[in-house]
A and B are shown apart, each in its own frame.
Chain A
Amino acid sequence: MDSKDSTLLEQRPAVFPPGAASQRRNRFTRIATPYLLLLPAAFLYAVFIVYPIFRQFDISFFNWHIFPGVANPFVGWSNYIRIFHDPAIRTASENTLLFLVITVPIQMALGLFAAALLTDRLPGRGLWRALIFIPVVTSWVVVSYVFAYIFGFQGGLANAVISLFAGHTVRIDWLAQTWTGNAVIWIISIWKGVGWSFIMFLAALDGVPRDLVESARVDGASEPRIWRHVVIPNIRPTITFVTVLLVIGASQVFTQVFITTGGGPYGSTSVLLTYAYQQAFSFFDFSYAAAIASLMAIVVLGLSILQIRLMRKNVDQ
């Protein structure tokens, strides 16, 4: 595991040349060390991540039953074909896509805006930064319950505030309707997500060369022009990076939907993963759920290759 031997050998007087056997051992240690260091992590990773990925593909080609003693016939691509004829998948895909299209740009815009506010000196800046990031460290479960209560039908704060502005009692059953249910899910996700892009953009804005900005200003460039031609190009790697990670994260939306609306009413607010989870653990249709998850994994893998390349680029800088 360590190269203690090599240093011991070096300390030996030269009159005793190291034997062939120990030299071999020495070489072995040198070559084996990195692999031995990797072994524990690689083992866990292989067992709990890599194997399940392949197992998932495997299951998706069978009509697989969790109950022992029941036949699990091979069904080929039929689970995948079923996906394309399932109206519920259509709804879930639309909701997932809509979630992505709405929450990602808003999170990024608000995060960048907040980061721009707090890049320069400002009283209580450390406090504002800490507060804006706090939603990120809270738990999805807790946050989902709090928002479910705030958007409750009776006695919910949201209805009370709207009533106040409307001048008469407004009773919206937020979580029991498709559009309002979706809206609540978006609001929770944006509220909890802004802090993350905020902190990323804060780090990026901090790295914008100030002399570049200042010389542009001296040259008489207006603020919007400085943003367009100096700032944005400088933080472009971060913008791409944040976009990719948020898009991947959005495709995996689950807990907030599961807890607030549960995908209801009648599956109209379900997203791909809540639908797959329901298929597996409510209807025990593991194979169909595995097919949905596998197909998603392939789509997300395309995104992830892009993601890895961007990450490496970020590191190199």
Chain B
Amino acid sequence: MSALTFKDARNLPMSRSSRGPRRPQPSVQPGLFGIRSWKKSRLVLAGVFGAVSVFPLLYLISLSFQPTSDIQTSNPVLIPSHPTFLNYVQAWSENSFGQYFLNSLVVALGTVVLTVGLSSLAAFAFARYKFPLKEVIFYVFLAALAVPSVELIIPQYLLVLKLHLTDSLPGLILIYTSENLPFAIFLLRGFFEAVPKDLEESFRLDGAGSLRVLTRLIAPLSAPALAVVAMFTFNFAWEEFVIALTLINSPSHRTLPIGLNFFIGEHTTQWGPLFAGSVIATVPSVIVYFISQRWFQRGVSLGGIR
């Protein structure tokens, strides 16, 4: 939240001075436009936006505690009449959801570590070295931002088949990492370039090698960007659906999104366990988001995010 409070502080003088000349401010930062005076309507509208944004998720939480009789009536129930944990118990026990959760965690963490590591090395090369074909190579990396995961699923499937990586979590990690490298390298390059040159030189004079410069100087100074990359990569791997659906066959290797898909039967849908499972699947993403939120604003304003 530090980025946000920083901005609050910047806008503070304006609101104070509009209330009265109680505290003279040397440089008055005016607010954006006249809407500063429509505080009440702005608040109401912001509330509406916020409410619409969270309502489906709150409803999901409510549904996950509803007994089947509530979920499958013709009158939707907003607040469970008899809250129950049965859906969670069912989701967890009947469909080896614990295993799916673990698989997703392994895949997501593996992807984060590999992506952050490899993209840091590459971004370091792009940011701090001069070498032939640098910009060409950079553009080749960037081009993949336009090629989505689903679009390459057929050749990737065949490739993974050939490499005997089907139905394996490492296979997923490698593909997820490749998908995330372009955006990560793009974002990190901007941050790495911002680290002053003389700092690096003094490091080098002390006898530090390239890797040391990266791990001891540039990476710590670019922590916000690394956090943003980690968050987006985690979320990507955590929620990815099509690639996992296509590459994973055996139940013991399913990730969470695939596991959820199996609550949908041909004829009947187990809505209760599906909602409970959905809540379980959503909690880690939200936690990761709130942890990384404080670095978020800076990361976003510096680079594009997929």
A residues near B (Cβ < 8 Å) are: 1-4, 7-8, 31, 33-35, 37-38, 40-42, 44-45, 47-53, 55-56, 59, 66, 110, 114, 116-135, 137-143, 145-147, 149-150, 154-157, 160, 191, 194-196, 199-200, 202-208, 210-211, 213-214, 217, 223, 226-227, 231, 241, 245, 248-249, 252, 254-255, 258-259, 273, 277, 280-281, 286, 289-290, 293, 296-297, 300-301, 303-304, 307-308, 311, 314-315
A128 to B117, CA, bound (A): 34
A59 surroundings in chain B (CB, below 8 A)? 154-155, 158
Cβ contacts B144-159/A at 8 Å (1 or 0 each):
1111101111111011
A280 touches B238 (CB 8 A): no
B246 touches A281 (CB 8 A): yes
B305 surroundings in chain A (CB, below 8 A)? 196, 200
Interface status of B90 (Cβ within 8 A of chain A): no
A1 touches B211 (CB 8 A): yes
Categorize the interface residue count of chain B: 35 or more
B21 surroundings in chain A (CB, below 8 A)? none
Q: Which of B32, B45, B241, B281 has the most chain A CB within a 10 Å cutoff? A: B32
A195 to B124, CA, bound (A): 31
| Interface residue ranges of B28-56 to A (CB < 8 Å) | 29-36, 39, 42-43, 45-47, 49-54, 56
A200 to B182, CA, bound (A): 19
Cβ contacts B292-306/A at 8 Å (1 or 0 each):
010011001101111
B178 touches A48 (CB 8 A): yes
Interface stretch of the complex, out of B68-76, B81-89, B94-102: B68-76
B152 touches A53 (CB 8 A): yes
A195 to B63, CA, bound (A): 24
A254 touches B242 (CB 8 A): yes
A315 to B194, CA, bound (A): 11
B50 surroundings in chain A (CB, below 8 A)? 127-128, 131-132
Interface status of B195 (Cβ within 8 A of chain A): no
A311 touches B142 (CB 8 A): yes
A194 to B50, CA, bound (A): 11
Interface status of B11 (Cβ within 8 A of chain A): yes
Given that A40-B118, A157-B76, A223-B34 are known contacts, is A48 also in contact with B207, CB under 8 Å in the complex?
no
| 12 more CB-based (< 8 A) A-B contacts, given A146-B60, A286-B158 | A38-B137, A42-B122, A47-B159, A126-B8, A132-B50, A142-B60, A214-B30, A231-B32, A258-B241, A307-B146, A311-B186, A311-B303
A83 CB, min distance to chain B CBs, angstroms:
15
B125 touches A203 (CB 8 A): no
A210 touches B282 (CB 8 A): no
B1 touches A160 (CB 8 A): no
A270 CB, min distance to chain B CBs, angstroms:
13
A286 CB, min distance to chain B CBs, angstroms:
6
Which chain A residue shows the least CB distance to B177?
A44
Which chain A residue shows the least CB distance to B178?
A48
B48 CB, min distance to chain A CBs, angstroms:
10
B32 touches A126 (CB 8 A): no
Jot down 11 A-B pairs with beta carbons below 8 A, ordered by A.
A1-B210, A4-B207, A44-B181, A137-B288, A155-B75, A200-B304, A281-B246, A290-B154, A290-B155, A304-B147, A311-B186
A37 to B125, CA, bound (A): 6
B62 CB, min distance to chain A CBs, angstroms:
11
A52 CB, min distance to chain B CBs, angstroms:
4
A245 touches B306 (CB 8 A): yes
A51 to B155, CA, bound (A): 8
A42 to B257, CA, bound (A): 29
Q: Is the interface of A mostly helix, strand, loop or mixed?
A: helix
Given that A52-B152, A207-B301 are known contacts, is A134 also in contact with B210, CB under 8 Å in the complex?
no
Interface status of B185 (Cβ within 8 A of chain A): yes
Of the candidates B59, B174, B235, which one forms a contact with A44 in the assembled complex, judged by CB atoms under 8 Å apart? B174
A169 to B154, CA, bound (A): 46
B46 touches A141 (CB 8 A): no
A48 to B207, CA, bound (A): 37
A114 touches B141 (CB 8 A): no
Given that A45-B178, A308-B142 are known contacts, is A122 also in contact with B42, CB under 8 Å in the complex?
yes
A126 surroundings in chain B (CB, below 8 A)? 1, 4-5, 8
A227 touches B152 (CB 8 A): no
Given that A42-B122, A293-B151 are known contacts, is A191 also in contact with B56, CB under 8 Å in the complex?
yes
A79 to B58, CA, bound (A): 47
A214 to B34, CA, bound (A): 10
A122 touches B32 (CB 8 A): no
Of the candidates B45, B144, B150, B155, which one forms a contact with A45 in the assembled complex, judged by CB atoms under 8 Å apart? B144
Interface status of B204 (Cβ within 8 A of chain A): yes
A144 to B305, CA, bound (A): 22
B72 touches A155 (CB 8 A): yes
B46 touches A118 (CB 8 A): yes
A128 surroundings in chain B (CB, below 8 A)? 46-47, 49-50
Q: Which of B146, B156, B178, B257 has the most chain A CB within a 10 Å cutoff? A: B146
B59 touches A120 (CB 8 A): no
A122 to B44, CA, bound (A): 11
Interface status of B179 (Cβ within 8 A of chain A): yes
Interface status of B91 (Cβ within 8 A of chain A): no
